A and B are shown apart, each in its own frame.
Chain A
Amino acid sequence: MNVIVADIRTKFQELGVDIPAEKIEERLEKLIVKFKVPQEEAKRSVVNFFLKEYSISKDKFYGGQGETTFSKVADISEDGKWVNLKVKVVQIWENTHESISQVGLLADETGTIKFIAWAAAELPTVEEGRSYIFKNVVSSEWNGKMEVTLNKSSSIEETADDIHVQSKSKGVASLVKVADISEDGRWVDLKGKIVQLWENTNESISQVGLIGDETSSIKFIKWASAEIPVDLVEGNNYLLRNAVTSEWNGKLEITLNKSSSIEEISDEIEVNTRDTVITAAMVDIQSGSGLIKRCPQCNRSLTKGACAEHGKVDGVYDLRLKAVLDTGTITQDVLLKREVTEEISGITLEDAIAMAADALDQGVVLEAMKQKLVGKYYKVSGPRVDRYVLVESIEKESILDHKLLEELINEAEVI
């Protein structure tokens, strides 16, 4: 505690104010001992108390006169420290929270760190690629990683010094296999095949889906703000550079941002899918199933003839099923693509188009499929992705398992 007292006293002396050590100590001790305030917080509180008492501005105290000492990004390792940084803004991220003004990545020659500028701090905004002096920002730990936050006491000043940023690009990200991705926040290069492109309803996302290699598959998100000119196509193979792994809802995914790049490659990648196999009754087929129309540009399914991204378009017909399987103990949502839907329903895309034209209603196809499929038992297999199993094979169960029957009879006899 004496160290803190001396530290506070020296700092005030530099500003021309001599506060008796006992006064500082008394206040500090009260906070720490009686009110169980953590040391750092107590110190801050004591400083603020005397700043107010002697009408000294916070800037003057923290920003200090004369030489400001700067910390290096790599040295930030403790929660709750006030630091000054000379850094380049390397990324501004999509910000969805109204209490945040800006969020992104800062870098200097030693490393990168996330920053958050609170809206309440009312600070000028920063721009990607420019260098700034950040004064009085606070380090904090979140989810096991350090970040800095900008508050009302912080200041931002653009600087002409070009800060040499440690390159996170080419060479730093290593080429990995999907199965090896196990950590949040890693920069990776990945060679994979686009297994699926999903419907995307969020306008901040350009494309989302599943990419796989011979070890496994993983969800990817290409942010609209990444402005990557390549449009990924299902079934094609790509090399993704500088993608970032992240965890969402307990699952890992990879995201493509402004620093990322995509290159189509000619290698043919064999995707490994760890299939889920379920035998269960189909208890529902959901709306959006049967004969649908997709946007010719982005493959999203249309709602009332309009694509969420491209507006009114001339849709392309497709068949699919979103069904619910129920084992009696769990329910499982499953997705069937056109080929599988045609196979199990016996209705081809051509049949479906003809049926709809006859009835002047697309809904007849869904109704016919329900009549044919719901209420019966099926065995399906395919990879599980989020809440769906993407069905690759489906078979109607029809043969009674006589071995199970004997086993159950034996069991029932001894109860």
Chain B
Amino acid sequence: MAGYTREVAKRLFSQEFRESNLTFKDGDDQYSPQYLFTPTGAKVNRMFIVGTLTEKEDIGSDSEYWRGRVSDPTGSFFIYAGQYQPEAAQVLAECDTPEFVAIIGKPSTYTTPEGDIRTSIRPESMYIVDGETRDLWVLDTAKATLERLKNLSTSHPDALKAKEHYKTDTKHYASMVLKALRSLKEEY
């Protein structure tokens, strides 16, 4: 497969994910990858999250369709897994809550009748992990988010685009990161 490169799994907190509402395609044929563009300028086609699965519910009518809620120090992610995400659906069907989970998945968006954009994750795979991994992820994600915040003051195209669309308040996201980092200290 010449020219094929695997999409990197981006790290972002649930709060930033929830506050994202811009999607675009890189290129214009049907196979072009779709990206979610976040307020700190992350271009997300794939993401890696680790958090606590706090709720799960089969909301499907005919076939199983699972909704899960995964929390991190800044809020919660929603994940949806049906017949096209068999691995994740199986994990959701079998696991208990709460549980530490790691999810590799694609961002997806849904526009409500009121015109609001809701973000969720379509998991490609989902694994049960441990608390240590969850803490490592918070640190990892804080570091990645701070990098992006620092880049926002540069003239990088992604930074310009983020500021243009979201009018990003860097203080807002810096305090989000701070909250996440401080939560790690409380546990020790």
Contact = CB atoms under 8 A, between A and B. Distances in A.
A377 B140 contact: yes
- The listed residue with most B CB atoms (<10 A of its CB), out of A374, A397, A408, is A408
B129 A415 contact: no
Given A375-B102, A376-B133, A415 B139 contact: no
A415 B8 CA distance: 26
A329 B8 contact: yes
Interface string A358-391: 0000000000001100111100000000000000
Interface in A322-338: 324, 326-331
Chain B interface SS verdict (over half): helix
Contact of A328 (B48, B126, B149, B178): B48
Interface stretch (B30-38, B65-73, B114-122, B180-188): B180-188
A330 B177 CA distance: 22
Interface stretch (A139-147, A265-273, A398-406): A398-406
Interface in A279-312: 281, 283-284
A412 interface: yes
Interface residues on A, range: 20 to 34
A275 to B, nearest CB: 22
- The listed residue with most A CB atoms (<10 A of its CB), out of B101, B140, B185, is B140
A398 B175 CA distance: 26
A415 B133 contact: no
Nearest to B176: A412
A415 B150 contact: yes
Interface in B37-51: 48, 50
A329 B6 CA distance: 11
A328 B139 contact: no
B146 interface: yes
A281 B125 contact: no
A408 to B, nearest CB: 5
Contacts of B184: 400, 405
B127 A370 contact: yes
Contacts of A376: 102, 129-130, 133
Contacts of B177: 408, 412
Given A328-B11, A328-B48, A400-B139, A409 B178 contact: yes
A341 to B, nearest CB: 18
Given A283-B9, A326-B8, A376-B102, A412 B174 contact: yes
A415 B144 contact: no
Contact of B8 (A331, A371, A398, A412): A331
Given A326-B48, A405-B184, A412 B146 contact: yes
Interface string B140-151: 111110100110
Contacts of B139: 400-401, 404-405, 408
Interface string A315-359: 000000000101111110000000000000000000000000000
Contacts of A98: none
Contact of A324 (B6, B130, B144): B6
Nearest to B187: A400
A404 B138 CA distance: 12
A415 B181 contact: no
A177 to B, nearest CB: 33
Nearest to A399: B132
A411 interface: yes
Nearest to A409: B181
Interface of B: 5-6, 8-11, 48, 50, 101-104, 125-130, 132-133, 135-137, 139-144, 146, 149-150, 170-171, 174-175, 177-178, 181-182, 184-185, 188
